[in-house]
């Protein structure tokens, strides 16, 4: 590249990877994202490294698998010894600036026990300057709404449509309009900041949108943009009972999910919702995606108007996916592709050797983002990383030795309330799973529960577990060995790559 690029790292929370027009979704319309993909590269097989938000973002920000960064739940601190995107950008001469949130907890060993940052998982990744924080309580956005004339107190759920029936999934709009969403609020804050930047001084911004994360509600016209009867058939068993019988962990999840986590003010359990309710929720989810796409259009237009487009490298992704009715479930958890397959589009400056409209079908992972940005900024990490730079896939310089599978982990320990430990009768350290997924099979290894194996050619919906089928026992063993080899090959090597000799300390180069 002729100069250091401007870098907006844009994440949209809980956006599943198939919900893009450019990815071939039959219903969802994302014209601005589609246009971005036509100028860059769409990674069709991109996967989160963990879930929920905190663990997923730890992989995104550090380039490490969960087995190394060890952020296992929202609220688990991130070890301060690890390098991350913000610290690296600062070494590269940028002032990395945050709009939104990172869901990172600081290392408690670096501060006083009474530090208020240890009372919330809404902390900021070390290294970032904060221009506009938007934590889970949304107070900065609420204050902004009040300044625009909205009268409400903290006892009112600003997301709940006025007059909505107590237990109905209602497509009525909330109290705020399309120009007043959290996405619009953060977009406006970024555009104000963008106008303050010197054109010849490259910048790094992390724009971290909360949507399409629930609650599933969105203002006009997005609330009725999609008909609930439109969209693909749900991928699931014929009944919840049959779904629950697939595995003890699935049964546990289906039993516990609360409606209020997905629709504002709803009472009871998700298990009581009918198919029509799932369809209405999915239509709202699609509308939320289109609302985010609409605000992305504002950002792209502003970059072009400021003559910055040709000097800007855009990374657009998510932290994890969303079940939205598949397998009778909502949210993100476990092992299903819908929870971990996420979008990734990288659009490089015109000065970079990247083919427009490239579709990449290799398996890529969230941990690849950090080493990719390191490569672009011509930096080295300060510790070992698990991901690999995507530049060879972007510029077509070669894919020799590239991985042929995706891997992710999910830790379901309770820590504070120990609900999973009590339910399964397991120690906390046994409440986890790891997934090895290639084009043909998906193997899911639980530390304390039975394994799963899916023949994806015959069963792309992950409905039939063949782990105990006599015809698949050899394959199950083979994939268990693949998973073991993957873990063995990615143990933390920060000091393992060093050796003291009679000529001093020698170290291996990190392969990024």
Give mean pLDDT, residues 77-106. Answer: 97
Q: How confident is the model at residue 349 (pLDDT cuts 50, 70, 90)?
A: confident
Task: Report CA-CA distances (Å) from 387 to 54, 307, 344, 381, 467.
Answer: 18, 33, 15, 11, 29
Q: What is the pLDDT of residue 511?
A: 60
How far apart (Å, rounded) are the C-alpha atoms in residues 456 and 441? 5
State how far Cα 389 lies from the chain centre.
18
Residue whose entry in the numeric block shows the structure tokens 């397998």: 327
**Could you tell me the pTM of the whole model?**
0.95
Strands 441-446 and 7-12: unpaired
Question: 75: closest CA among 413, 424, 342?
Answer: 413
Ramachandran region, residue 114 (left: φ > 0; alpha: ψ -120 to 50; beta: rest): alpha
User: Is-contact 312 207, C-beta < 8 A?
Assistant: no
Q: How confident is the model at residue 154 (pLDDT cuts 50, 70, 90)?
A: low
How far apart (Å, rounded) are the C-alpha atoms in residues 297 and 25? 19
pLDDT over 70, % of the chain: 97
Per-residue HEC secondary structure of 104-143 comes to CECCHHHCCCCCHHHHCCCCCCCCCEEEEECCCCCHHHHH
How far apart (Å, rounded) are the C-alpha atoms in residues 288 and 294? 10
Contacts of 399 (CB under 8 A, 6+ apart): 362, 392, 393
Burial (CB count <10 Å: 0-12, 13-18, 19+), residue 496: exposed
Q: What is the DSSP letter of 229?
A: T
For the ranges 205-209, 416-420, 489-493, the maximum mean pLDDT occurs at: 205-209
Please identify every residue annotated as catalytic: 53
- Does residue 13 have a pLDDT over 70? yes
- Does residue 236 have a pLDDT over 60? yes
Q: How confident is the model at residue 152 (pLDDT cuts 50, 70, 90)?
A: confident
Upstream peptide bond of 120 is cis (omega within 30 degrees of 0): no
Question: 428: closest CA among 417, 438, 440, 436?
Answer: 417
pLDDT tens-digit readout, 290-334: 999 999 999 999 999 999 999 999 999 999 999 999 999 999 989
pLDDT tens-digit readout, 410-458: 999 998 899 999 999 999 999 999 999 999 999 999 999 999 999 999 9
User: Is-contact 134 144, C-beta < 8 A?
Assistant: no
Range scoring the smallest mean pLDDT among 111-125, 149-163, 348-362, 390-404: 348-362
Residue whose entry in the numeric block shows the structure tokens 């998982």: 121
Q: How confident is the model at residue 497 (pLDDT cuts 50, 70, 90)?
A: confident
Q: What is the DSSP letter of 363?
A: E
Burial (CB count <10 Å: 0-12, 13-18, 19+), residue 366: buried
Contacts of 398 (CB under 8 A, 6+ apart): 392
Q: What is the pLDDT of residue 271?
A: 96
User: Average pLDDT of the chain?
Assistant: 94
- Other beta carbons within 10 angstroms of residue 139's beta carbon come to 12
Range scoring the smallest mean pLDDT among 224-238, 337-351, 429-443: 337-351
How far apart (Å, rounded) are the C-alpha atoms in residues 125 and 54? 11
Strands 498-501 and 504-507: antiparallel
For residues 55 and 264, which has the higher predicted lDDT (pLDDT)?
55
pLDDT over 90, % of the chain: 85
Q: What is the pLDDT of residue 265?
A: 87
Using only C-alpha atoms, the chain has a radius of gyration, in whole angstroms, of 22
Tokens of 151: 């009268």
How far apart (Å, rounded) are the C-alpha atoms in residues 237 and 464? 10
Give mean pLDDT, residues 153-173. Answer: 82
Residue whose entry in the numeric block shows the structure tokens 């990395």: 96
Residue whose entry in the numeric block shows the structure tokens 């319309």: 29
Give mean pLDDT, residues 7-26. Answer: 98
- Other beta carbons within 10 angstroms of residue 17's beta carbon come to 24
Name the CATH topology of 7-231+273-403: Alkaline Phosphatase, subunit A (3.40.720)
């Amino acid at each position: 590249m002729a100069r250091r690029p401007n870098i907006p790292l844009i994440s949209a929370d809980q956006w599943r990877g198939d919900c893009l027009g450019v990815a071939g979704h039959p219903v969802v319309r994302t014209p601005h994202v589609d246009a971005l993909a036509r100028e860059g590269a769409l990674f069709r097989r991109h996967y989160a490294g963990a879930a929920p938000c905190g663990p997923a973002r730890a992989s995104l920000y550090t380039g490490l698998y969960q087995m190394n960064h060890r952020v296992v739940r929202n609220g688990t601190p991130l070890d301060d010894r690890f390098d991350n995107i913000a610290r690296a950008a600062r070494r590269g001469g940028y002032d990395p600036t945050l709009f939104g949130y990172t869901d990172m907890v600081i290392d408690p060993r670096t501060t006083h026990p009474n530090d208020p940052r240890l009372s919330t998982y809404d902390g900021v990744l070390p290294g970032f300057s904060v221009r506009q924080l938007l934590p889970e309580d949304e107070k900065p956005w609420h204050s902004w709404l009040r300044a625009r004339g909205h009268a409400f107190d903290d006892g009112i759920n600003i997301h709940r449509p006025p007059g909505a029936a107590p237990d109905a999934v209602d497509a009525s709009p909330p109290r705020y309009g399309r120009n007043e969403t959290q996405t619009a609020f953060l977009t406006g804050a970024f555009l104000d900041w963008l106008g303050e930047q010197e054109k010849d001084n490259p910048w790094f911004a992390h724009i971290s949108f909360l949507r399409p994360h629930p609650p599933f509600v969105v203002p006009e016209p997005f609330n009725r943009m999609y008909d609930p009867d439109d969209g693909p058939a749900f991928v699931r068993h014929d009944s919840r009972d049959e779904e629950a019988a697939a595995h003890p962990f699935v049964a546990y999840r289906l039993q516990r999910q609360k409606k209020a986590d997905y629709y504002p003010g709803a009472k009871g359990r998700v298990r009581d919702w009918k198919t029509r309710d799932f369809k209405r929720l999915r239509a709202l989810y699609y509308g939320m995606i289109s609302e985010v796409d609409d605000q992305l259009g504002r950002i792209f237009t502003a970059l072009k108007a400021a003559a910055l487009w040709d000097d800007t490298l855009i990374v657009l992704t998510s932290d994890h996916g969303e079940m939205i009715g598949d397998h009778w479930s909502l949210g993100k958890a476990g092992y299903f592709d819908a929870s971990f397959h996420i979008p990734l589009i990288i659009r490089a400056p015109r000065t970079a050797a990247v083919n427009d409209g490239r579709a990449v079908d290799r398996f890529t992972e969230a941990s690849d983002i950090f080493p990719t940005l390191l490569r672009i900024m011509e930096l080295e990490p300060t510790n070992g990383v698990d991901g690999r730079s995507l530049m060879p896939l972007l510029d077509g310089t070669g894919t020799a030795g590239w991985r042929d599978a995706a891997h992710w982990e999910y830790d379901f320990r309770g820590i504070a309330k120990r609900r999973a430990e009590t339910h399964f009768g397991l120690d906390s350290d046994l409440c986890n799973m790891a997934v090895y997924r290639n084009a043909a099979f998906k193997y899911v290894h639980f530390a304390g529960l039975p394994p799963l194996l899916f023949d994806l050619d015959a069963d792309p919906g992950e409905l039939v577990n063949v782990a105990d089928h006599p015809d698949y026992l050899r394959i199950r063993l083979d994939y268990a060995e693949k998973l073991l080899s993957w873990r063995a090959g990615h143990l933390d090597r920060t000091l393992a790559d060093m050796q003291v000799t009679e000529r001093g300390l020698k170290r291996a180069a990190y392969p990024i």
